[in-house]
Amino acid sequence: MRLHLRRALTVRSMAAVGFFSKSRSCKLHHLLNFNPTGGLHTAPSPIDAPLSADHLVHHLLDLFSKLPGLRDAEKFHSLDRNLVPSVAEVVIKGLASWRSAHEFFRWASAQHGFRHTCYTYNAMASVLCRARRFVQLQELVAQVLDERCPMTPGALGFLIRCLGSQGLIDEALLVFDRASILHCVPNSYTYNCLLEVLVNSRSVDEVESKFEEMVVARRLEPDKYTFTAILQSYCRAGKLEEDEG
């Protein structure tokens, strides 16, 4: 009788030890996984996780619309990893102030692994043109050339027009004449943009020289916009009246 009782107590004791060991293990697992502020197994925060383009644009617009002292510095370290040119272009165009846009543009330029494209450069050029910021436009041209940013013929024409609209004719000629280092072969559109710029401030001889380069050296076909620019140049110089006389 005593032997059976002792065996029963032993079995119960072992079961109790197993229960408490299992219970302690469960509690320990619960304590390791529970953390009211995030814990060990919490999902990554929205800023740390890869952001969609729309969310990234939203965060960057929000940051650069604020005064520097009111910005969340921690966000910068997570946003720069996701920055791509298409997002930068939207942000530049979306910021209300040219100063904010220019600050963002310079910040983006400094981010590791990021390079501006002809589209982000042109977005910034357009903003600076509207604000009539001549010095910043000249600096932008220098950066385009220093970085040897690849330009499409259309993008180069757009930049030339922007510069010409602000009277920066020398800068417009500079980027056109250095198209080769920008990996660009000017087409008829590019030449037309340059001719339109030259009409307002250069001699007829210079306009004719670029026209000859276009049709003879480049063998590009002139169109109505080309001839309109040539006629405007002659009119401004009074050459048509001279020919008629």
Residue 29 has pLDDT above 50, yes or no: no
**CA nearest to 225, candidates 212, 235, 238, 211:** 211
DSSP state of 42: P
**Residue of higher predicted confidence among 3 and 84:** 84
| Residue with token string 């529970």 | 34
Q: In whole angstroms, how far apart are CA 72 and each of 49, 77, 88, 136, 215? A: 17, 10, 19, 27, 56
Angle formed at CA 84 by CA 63 and CA 52, multiple of 5 degrees: 70
Residue 78 has pLDDT above 80, yes or no: no
Residues 138 and 124: their CA atoms lie apart, in Å, by 12
HEC profile for 181-218?
HHCCCCCHHHHHHHHHHHHCCCCHHHHHHHHHHHHHHC
Residues 164 and 65: their CA atoms lie apart, in Å, by 30
Q: pLDDT class for 241, splitting at 50, 70, 90?
A: low
Q: Is the whole-model pTM more than 0.95? A: no
Q: Packing angle between helix 188-199 and helix 169-177, nearest 10 degrees?
A: 160
- 127-177 pLDDT tens trace: 999 999 999 999 999 999 999 999 999 999 999 999 999 999 999 999 999
| Residue with token string 């008829």 | 188
